[in-house]
Amino acid sequence: MAKMYVSQGVHHVVATPHFINGTAWANSAKIVMQSVQKMQAVLNKNRINLIIHPGMEIACSFRVPDFFAQGVLLPLGGKGNMFLLEPAFHGTQEELVASVHFMLRNNRVPIIAHPERISYFQSNPDDLLALINQGARIQLTMDSLLAPPQSRRHQLALRLVQTRQVHFLASDAHSSAGREPPGESVWCRLEELIGKECVQRLCVDNPHTLLMF
């Protein structure tokens, strides 16, 4: 995966393993930081020019305030106050709304992961816009923009980009075979669809700003 990123001119990646309480995917901030350091050492040893920044995709939950109190959550980039929050795929999003409001009240910036994939927001986009107006930020998955034009996730993703409501565009890369890092054809199709300047803003400029804090 690292070599695939570098081949496309990508030299910084924020790794966002899941934090889903009560499952095997609930590594603490400390474990993620240690794992990233080990991974970086391997990349450096092999002279692969890629920097891995730590992060976490936090499943929203009424217990998010407890997890913050326990110090187990990690902001994107490992420091700063921006945290990636994953909505539930089903239901009416009470836990997401509660998590967003808690974070905003406590001077943290919630970034909502792939809301375009959530059927509730596909049917109720105004509820998503309300969260954005309150201070939440939006991260889309590239694949949603490249999905069939008639699909609901594509339509919501494109509408959010066109109305400049999106802050980040994520690869959703999971492995070197299947959900792999974006190759040349993906970058070209994205630029055709939303424009080169927009891809630059969502994949380079905004993430760069985030990592500076």
Q: Give the binding site for Fe ion (CB under 5 A).
A: 86, 113
Nearer to Fe ion, 25 or 62 (CB): 25
The residue whose Cβ lies closest to Fe ion is 86
Nearer to Fe ion, 24 or 212 (CB): 24
Nearer to Fe ion, 113 or 169 (CB): 113
Residue 45 C-beta: closest distance to Fe ion, Å = 30
* Assigned token pair, 79: 């420091």
Q: How many angstroms separate the first and last alpha carbons of the chain?
A: 26
Residue 25 C-beta: closest distance to Fe ion, Å = 11
> Burial level of 39, CB count in 10 A (0-12/13-18/19+)?
middle
Residue 191 C-beta: closest distance to Fe ion, Å = 24
Residue 197 C-beta: closest distance to Fe ion, Å = 26
Scanning 46-183, the segments in alpha helix (DSSP H) are 64-70, 94-105, 119-123, 125-134, 142-145, 152-162
Nearer to Fe ion, 17 or 80 (CB): 17
What are the φ and ψ backbone dihedral angles of 88, each rounded to 5 degrees? -70, 145
- Rounded CA-CA distance 83/133 in Å is 17
